[in-house]
Amino acid sequence: MSGLIETFRDATVLQCGFLEKLLDLDMAAVAAFSDSMVEFLRPTPENKFVYGLAAGRSALALYSFLQLIQNHFENVFPFTLEDPLQRHYRKGKNLGIAISGSGETLSVNKYIDDIITRGGEIKLITANENGTAYKMVSEYERGSTLVIKARTKYATDKDVRSRLSPMGTEFELEVLAFLNALFVDIQSRLRGVCDSSCPEYQAMIKDFEENARLISQMDQMNPGHLDYWFTRLLPRSGRYIIGGVGRSGLVARAFEMRFTHLNKISYWERDFNTPSFQIGDVYIPITGIGNTYEALEGTMTALRKGADVMPITANPSSRQVAVLESNGRKKDIAIIPVKPVYSELFSGDTSSTTWLMSDYTKFRYPIFEINASIFTNSVVAVGAEFLGIMEEGMKRMHV
């Protein structure tokens, strides 16, 4: 499967290039976007509401940002498309943030229209200046837009990205990294440090990229391991059950979607219709620290039922790793590398009995989650090649 290792490496390098593109954005536009967020997030005694308007993987990228807002601002409450806008609308205390690569997602555009009808403020991030969403928001007096040029699932070009980055991964990854880096700039401006060149934003994007480039070196760090991991993961007829909580859970849900695109039977661990484990299934918990209670419980249950467990983690000294090692399955673990400066953050075997977040988990930036997103995206590219599935076939499986 040496060709698959090359595909994995090329897909990872391509995604690092996606992150690098975020440094080429017009910094004046980034600063303006940040400033407008500051105006809304500035502390006030009244409760305020942020509506995340997105669907699919774009929604998961946005929800990571909403979690940061919720963790840092006590009186700002995020809502999603699952919460009807009319239920929470308070005139003058609402902000809608819409994410739509194509600008043609009907459910997103419907909620954009709801906010516009009620006179609320709306911000849109899109890849398509000709899309319906862009037209709606750009023509609205309380609307603002930011364009991140990227190839979405509606693109028709048949270049190498169809193979290495199928189904519009570029836009979702760029939005995830952009919003998390933007949050650093927002915090800086709230402290009164305002710089039109957005140095905090640029430094965070560079940090994300430097971390991500380590993923392309995984095979050199541990020769033969990725090859083994792929042969264990891909050629199976059993079900794929993907788990994770918090921001790792958002990565897990995006990864689970991709197995559907690969024509596999897959479930997110916490869905109501997720079946119990059985022989032939594989459980893939995604957990940066590797000591998450739910991931450990899921691992023990899966092993007891005879299913395989293939964790994705950044912590080689975690309880998750110890459990797999004690069962003779150390090679089934994928350790995502991070820069040495972050290694200590992802070490140790401290465990909790709940997924309620510590202050550390609440306020750290998603170094692992972005790396895990890139790793899983590259695994999907490998899976498509291994299974002989073209992007056009994946589109037909897309909801």
The conformational region for residue 351 under phi > 0 = left, psi -120 to 50 = alpha, else beta, is beta
How many domains does the chain contain in total?
Answer: 2
pLDDT tier, 67 (very low <50, low <70, confident <90, very high otherwise): confident
Mean pLDDT, the chain, integer: 86
Same domain, 173 and 268: no
238, 369: one domain? yes
pLDDT at 348 over 60: yes
CATH of the domain at 366: 3.40.50.10490
Residue 93 has pLDDT above 80, yes or no: no
Give the number of C-alpha atoms closer than 13 A to the C-alpha of residue 115, restricted to the C-beta side: 30
Looking at the predicted structure, is the pLDDT value of residue 221 above 70? yes
Higher-scoring residue by pLDDT: 62, 84: 62
* Residue 393: alpha-carbon gap to chain centroid: 23
Could you tell me if 145 and 137 are in contact, meaning their C-beta atoms sit under 8 angstroms apart? yes
The pTM is what? 0.88
Domain shared by 350 and 330, yes or no: yes
Q: Rounded to whole angstroms, how far apart are CA atoms 201 and 174?
A: 13
* Residue 236 pLDDT exceeds 60: yes
Range 33-41 average pLDDT? 92
pLDDT at 398 over 70: no
**Which of 213, 237, 261 is the endpoint of a domain?**
213
Last residue of a domain, one of 213, 248, 272: 213
Residue 391 makes CB contacts below 8 A (sequence gap 6+) with 162, 163, 166, 167, 384
pLDDT, residue 391, reads 74
pLDDT at 43: 86
Are 43 and 192 in contact by the 8 Å Cβ rule? The answer is no
Q: How confident is the model at residue 68 (pLDDT cuts 50, 70, 90)?
A: confident
Higher pLDDT: 52 or 356? It is 52
Do you know the residue count of the chain? 399
The H or E element that residue 308 is part of is: strand 308-309
Percent of the chain at pLDDT exceeding 70: 88
154 and 105 in contact (C-beta within 8 Å)?
no
* 314/123 Cα distance (integer angstroms): 34
What is the average pLDDT across 65-89?
A: 75
Mean pLDDT confidence for 39-51: 88
Give the pLDDT confidence score for residue 367 in this predicted structure.
85
Residues 160 and 279 in one domain: no
Q: How confident is the model at residue 78 (pLDDT cuts 50, 70, 90)?
A: confident
Block residue for tokens 């994928």: 334
Q: Are 190 and 231 within one domain? A: no
Q: Which residue has the higher pLDDT, 199 or 361?
A: 199
Residues 140 and 278 in one domain: no
The answer to whether residues 284 and 388 belong to one domain is: yes
**Are 193 and 64 in a shared domain?**
yes
Res 90: pLDDT = 64
Same domain? 27 vs 171: yes
Residue 75 sits in which domain range? 2-213
How much is the average pLDDT of 307-332? 93
Is the same domain home to 331 and 385?
yes
| Same domain, yes or no: 147 and 286 | no
237 in the same domain as 124? no
Provide the pLDDT for residue 364. 58
pLDDT category at 204 given cuts 50, 70, 90 is very high
| pLDDT value of residue 303 | 95
Q: Rounded mean pLDDT of 92-99?
A: 87
**Distance, CA of 11 to CA of 5 (rounded, Å):** 10
Mean pLDDT of 176-195: 93
pLDDT tens digits for 113-144? 988 988 889 999 999 999 999 999 999 999 99
Q: Where among 213, 232, 258 does a domain terminate?
A: 213
